[in-house]
Amino acid sequence: MDSTEKTRQVIVEAASSLFVDQGYSSVGVRQIAEKACVPPALLYRYFGSKLELFEEVIRSFEGLEALWRCPSERLPEKLTRLVLQDDDELGSVRKCLSLFVNSVGCEEASPVLRRILLNRVLPAMSPHFVDKLSLEKAYLLTSIIFGVFIVRGVIRTPEEGSKLEELLRDSFRAVIGS
């Protein structure tokens, strides 16, 4: 990897960390540059704008499509782990969810997030749905995932032994299998 590519990677990693934690609208170019230890002008040189850098950060998340590459009967368990447990295997996807949740209210970032959902996430989900309601089921599944993820961040996961995990898994099964 040459020095230009290394610098780009450092900027993307710095921006990723800030966008995940604070959301798009709360992060400034100077803040990203400071975290990456580069001059702000370098961000514009490599990415053109904060929004283009944001898109690059989202593209850098691995696992968005891979999350859906498993047999349909295993998917409910995998999605339940994603939203309720802090397991390393799904860490990159969880970070991307945080970025979405923290940035979705920003008018400038919303079209990018919508494009990612429509072009990357929903097509990756489609093999699990083969009936006329495929798109509606994908929207419902996405809504459940984001909804539980948001609630979990606000009020935390209930105590061990709660029924939430079982109810969530059953909800995923109902949407995927119905």
Cα 115 to Cα 21, 76, 78, 93: the distances in Å are: 21, 25, 24, 17
Question: What value, to the nearest 5°, has the Cα angle with vertex 103 and ends 98 and 106?
Answer: 170
pLDDT (tens digit per residue) in 80-127: 888 877 667 777 888 888 888 889 889 999 999 888 888 888 888 888
Task: Find the Cα–Cα–Cα–Cα dihedral 120, 97, 128, 56, rounded to 10°.
Answer: 10
User: How does residue 73 score in pLDDT terms, banded at 50, 70 and 90?
Assistant: confident
Residue 160 three-state SS: coil
Q: Which domains does the chain have, with CATH numbers?
A: 3-60 (1.10.10.60), 66-177 (no CATH)
- pLDDT given for residue 25 in this prediction: 94
- The C-alpha R_g of the chain, in whole angstroms, comes to 18
What percent of the chain is modeled with pLDDT above 90?
Answer: 31
Which residue would you say has higher pLDDT here, 20 or 94? 20
pLDDT at position 28: 95
Q: pTM higher than 0.85, yes or no? A: no
What's the per-residue H, E or C state across 77-142?
Answer: HHHHHHHHCCCHHHHHHHHHHHHHHHHCCCCCCHHHHHHHHHHHHHHHHHHHCCCCCHHHHHHHHH
